[in-house]
Amino acid sequence: MGSQGGWGQSKEFLDLVKSIGEARSKAEEDRIVLREIETLKRRIAEPDVPRRKMKEYIIRLVYVEMLGHDASFGYIHAVKMTHDDSVFLKRTGYLAVTIFLNEDHDLIILIVNTIQKDLRSDNYLVVCAALTAVCKLINEETIPAVLPQVVELLGHPKEAVRKKAVMALHRFYQRAPTSVSHLLSNFRKKLCDNDPGVMGATLCPLFDLISADASSYKDLVVSFVNILKQVAERRLPKTYDYHQMPAPFIQVKLLKILALLGSGDKQVSGHMYTVLADIFRKCETSSNIGNAVLYEAICCASSIYPNSKILDAAVETTSNFLKSDNHNLKYMGIDALGRLIKISPDIAEEHQLAVIDCLEDAITIDDSSPKVPRVTVDTVEGNESPSMTTKVLSLGKEEEDPDDTLKRKTFELLYKMTKSSNVEVIVDRMIGYMISIIDNHYKTEIASRCVELAEQFAPSNQWFIQTMNKVFEHAGELVNPKLAHNLMRLIAEGFGEDDEGADSQLRSSAVRIPDGFICRNSDQIPSAFMQASFDGSQLHGLSTNVRLRIVHFLVNVICWVLGEYGTADGKYSVSYIIGKLCDVAEAHINDDTVKAYAMTGIMKICAFEIAAGRKVEMLSECQTLIDELSDSHSTDLQQRAYELQALLSLDNRTIENVMPSDASCEDIEVDKNLSFLNFYVQKSIEKGAQPYLPESERSGMSNVDNFKNPYQHENSGQSLRFEAYELPKPPPPTSIPFVSSSSRVTDIIPVSEQVHSREIHQNPPTSGADALALEVKLRLDGVQKKWGRPTYSSVPAASATVSKENGVTHSDEATNANSQTRDFPYNHRRQQVEVSAEKQRLAASLFGSSSKSDKKAPSSHRPARGGHVNSERPPATALLLSEPPKEKTSASVPPPPDLLDFSDPLPSSATSEDPFKQLEGLVDTTIAPLSGNAPTPDIIPLYGGTPSINSATQANIRNASAAASGVVTIKKGPNAQDALEKDAVARQVGVQPTQNNPNLFRDLLG
């Protein structure tokens, strides 16, 4: 061991290394290292350690840290060692600090001075060591301290030092470009250095500079070409040859630079053709490094302004790469092909076979990879000579071996090659490959590429849905949840103008998706038991007999589809689907989102059934589920359950309006200006009310006089309360995207708590009505505010117990109701502001990424539907928000006579400064067409509260709002108003068609 110990290691260190090498387990190794650390700690702290010993300790520290243990106790000693006079110790010290410390470490300050001194040293080895340390340890602040010396060293007689000085300057440039901006001309100068090594080193910073700004270095093209020519013609000294190649690393670098400079510049590119042709012609193809240069030449040829001769040469070289048996060269060939097809796509066809070879390789391996024996491993190991001479790849057997890198590269190429003509094949293969790999990182990438290609080139709807299903199946947890929404949207919207028949066909096929997924916990079950009933003649067969993994949000999609369209074509019975949905909910005991989807699905089906005039008898399991969810810890689930129950008790006309079938894509307009309140505001002002002041103008007032300016007071109170309430469930949109309540399709959109958290920051809207409204009735604020939320549960009870004899039951509810009146305007107000912001955000997230073209004819299709909604089935919930201007007048005029029983207080209420009479009016008018004409006993009690006493107490107002929401939510449960709002927001945002539809539609339509 003496020969190896030449560098001064002691027996001790050798023993340490040996024992670690022989350690049988990680634990044993750790034990040894920890013992070593203890020893070092003790020894190193001893006074008067001989410096040679100290040097060895430092090396041992480096070793320990390489093994992943903390050696920070010894850093200071390494720093001290850099101060040593002995060159050798100094070098060791520098080595240690460059490994130990990062540029912002506190100890650096102790080294800067030493570095400065050493940069001026006569011994060039010291200077080199210092330069190494400079590169690693000098940060932006300390650059000025050493910069002059480094620049000086550019003229050092030793070329090794000049080289390193150039590198150090380069490092400075990387770290803080401004600090050396005045010195960049030095790089140009050093390009003409006598020593080719220094010139080669200069290429590194120039490469960086040129990638940042190619235009200002165009003048250097001729020089670069000349250098490259000289190098290629072997004008450099023999010492720069490597494996018979003249300075290949310099050639590679130069080619990279030329590629940058010549990109898209015909004139500059003209200079390069000769030398490129030379390289293609002369370059050695037998050695690895020769191929490296050739590959770089191909990259350059594909990057500069194309020249047919050069391209031909490049293509030929590429095909040689592809034909090679060496996987490395194949890999380079695939990569080169990917670059070349950007210039002329036809090239790919010439090399189809080679690519397919790589692909076939990949695919056959997918099927047989477990069977491929790894015999070669042993034989190769056995033949390996103990000395580490280059190992030659055993080329013979590689065709059978899986090469993941090659596969990935090939799929990357395919991805670039995809056109609408080959998309089916390529995506199919991609999915096949995706299924076969385990690596989640790459799986995600492939999945998103599949989706991207599918969206871009999908030849048919069926294919698209099928593809998406497959992707969800196998990588559902990895792909962006956005995709689920896209899919739902797609199913819901259909494909533009096509007749509904095509849409419904599509939907039917979508309904078949669920087959396998329903049977959760039983991956083994073939899961086809639903298939028979769902099997439509024209439906595309989906991969139902595959053993399906349950993917979280695919289940959500399924629930949604089942709910929305499950009964649409009447092939399967209602109870059947409801049963399935119940199964889903039961299977996902711990997943509130899925349960929420299932519950909403049930609700929709029930609603459609009732609306169609059929009777829905509740299955017992469904009833159990509802009961269970009514007591759920999740307020969202609770609300859904209560909504369902409420819905069941409504009559069919109402339901038809609340839950129109297949209307998930209808527009809901919002009047953000609250213009329908103008009339009321004017009236109030005429009566002497104060005009509304924007918040900025009233600043400070809230502190002075809370009572007089209750608006702000309340606002802060509200913010507090909401924060406290919402924080425990922060909304990561990916994990719980669908927390929103919904009466219908709201589940398309991740509304969720973000609404609340964000609205805290919203400025109060500038509606005079609100301010006035609040002024009237904020007497009891201080007390009630805190209790606002908890009282929600009792409010629906209030509305439920309100009898026809108005006002009788109000007194005992007064306090609760009072607190909620304040919520009401607040929520209401918020909606106006929130909706727009939220809408934009969601619209962006839903359409932003994939939008390239509009739907072909949205104009004729959309408005028709929208008009339909406006005229015939305005969802009651949305109307609070979205009173279109034309209805403003109707809101302000006294309600029609048929509403008399509700609205007799209206005229008087207007005089009694009740701000909500207007809203009440809105509610009434909107309800009128729904239920007013044929009120059923179920509904009347709900509205009973509305026509309240003339004095227009807060309770009265509360009832108005409760009644409004009562259409959807009755009895106890989460705040009805909240539900309304969420629902409305959800509809707003989710269903709003934008101009930006995924461009897949264009293809689909075409």
Partner 1 sequence: MIRAVMVMNTQGKPRLVRFYEFQPPEKQKELIRSVYGALSSRADNVSSFVQADKIFGQDTRLVYKHLATLYFVFVFDSSENELAMLDLIQVFVETLDRCFKNVCELDLVFNFSKLHSILDEIIFAGHVLETSSEQVMKAIEEIARLEKTANPISIVAKSVSGRLGR
Q: Which two tokens stand for residue 558?
A: 């399924």
Query: E strand or H helix at 224, and its extent?
Result: helix 221-232
Choice between 439 and 500, CB closer to partner 1? 439
Nearest to partner 1 of 181, 387 (CB atom):
387
Strands 997-998 and 851-853: antiparallel
Q: Which residues pair with 245 in a beta bridge?
A: 242
Which residues neighbour 362 within 8 Å (Cβ) at sequence distance 6 or greater? Answer: 402, 406, 407, 410, 411, 433
Q: Of 278, 291, 275, 265, which Cα lies nearest the Cα of 226? A: 275
CB of 350 to partner 1, least distance (A): 23
Quote the CA–CA distance of 105 and 409 in Å, as a whole number: 40
Q: In terms of DSSP bridges, do strands 245-246 and 241-242 run parallel, antiparallel, or are they unpaired?
A: antiparallel
The separation between the first and the last C-alpha atoms of the chain, rounded to the nearest angstrom, is 78
Closest alpha carbon to 962 in 819, 865, 838 = 819
Which has the closest alpha carbon to 641: 655, 628, 625, 630? 630
Compare residues 403 and 924 and give the one whose CB is closer to partner 1.
403
Instruction: Compute the least distance from the CB of residue 455 to partner 1, in Å.
Output: 23
Q: Which is nearer to partner 1, 89 or 668 (CB)?
A: 89
Residue reference for tokens 């003790």 = 42
Q: Are 196 and 250 in contact (CB under 8 A)?
A: yes
**Minimum separation from the CB atom of position 247 to partner 1 (A):** 8
> Is the CB of 231 or the CB of 562 nearer to partner 1?
231
Query: What is the C-alpha separation between 980 and 876, in angstroms, rounded?
Result: 9
Rounded Cα distance between 573 and 582, Å, is 14
Alpha-carbon gap, residue 676 to 890, rounded angstroms: 9
Contacts of residue 396, defined as CB under 8 A and 6 or more positions apart, other chains included, come to 325
Distance CA 450, CA 434 (A): 9
Give whichever of 58 and 773 is closer to partner 1, judged by the CB atom.
Answer: 58
SS3 of 288-337: the string is HHHHHHHHHHHHHHHHECCCHHHHHHHHHHHHHHHHCCCHHHHHHHHHHH
Query: Strand pairing of 245-246 and 851-853?
Result: unpaired
Cβ distance to partner 1 smaller for residue 339 or 507? 339
Of 967, 807, 808, nearest to 877 by C-alpha is 967
Is the Cβ of residue 33 or residue 772 nearer to partner 1 in the bound state?
A: 33
Residue number, 373 or 937, with CB nearest to partner 1: 373
Distances (CA, A) of 130 to 120, 135, 462: 10, 9, 67
- Cα 227 from Cα 221, distance rounded (Å): 10
CB of 387 or CB of 590, closer to partner 1: 387
What is the smallest separation between the CB atom of 8 and partner 1, expressed in angstroms? 7
CB of residue 379 to partner 1, shortest distance in Å: 9
Helices and strands counted in the chain (H then E): 52, 4
Residue with tokens 């711990």: 590
Instruction: Give 284: exposed, middle or buried? Use CB within 10 Å, 0-12, 13-18, 19+.
Output: middle
Smallest gap from Cβ 470 to partner 1, in A, equals 24
Task: Provide φ and ψ at 284, rounded to 5°.
Answer: -65, 125
The SS3 of residue 245 is: strand
Identity at 502, one-letter amino acid code: A
- Of the candidates 658, 668, 637, the one whose C-alpha atom is nearest the C-alpha of residue 831 is 668
Q: What is the C-alpha to C-alpha distance for residues 247 and 199, in angstroms, rounded to an integer? A: 12
Question: 260 vs 1004, which CB is nearer to partner 1?
Answer: 260
DSSP code at position 242: E
Q: Which two tokens stand for residue 538?
A: 């024209």
Task: Give the per-residue SS3 of 28-95.
Answer: HHHHHHHHHHHHHHHHHHCCCCCHHHHHHHHHHHHHHHHCCCCCHHHHHHHHHHHCCCCHHHHHHHHH
- Phi then psi for residue 242, to 5 deg, are -135, 120
* Shortest Cβ 91–partner 1 spacing (Å): 7
Shortest CB 674 distance to partner 1, Å: 48
CB of 209 to partner 1, least distance (A): 13
Shortest distance in whole angstroms from residue 482 CB to partner 1: 21
Nearest alpha carbon to residue 564 among 499, 661, 638: 661
110 versus 780: smaller Cβ distance to partner 1? 110
Quote the CA–CA distance of 930 and 934 in Å, as a whole number.
8
Shortest spacing between CB 227 and partner 1, in angstroms: 17
Nearer to partner 1, 3 or 590 (CB): 3
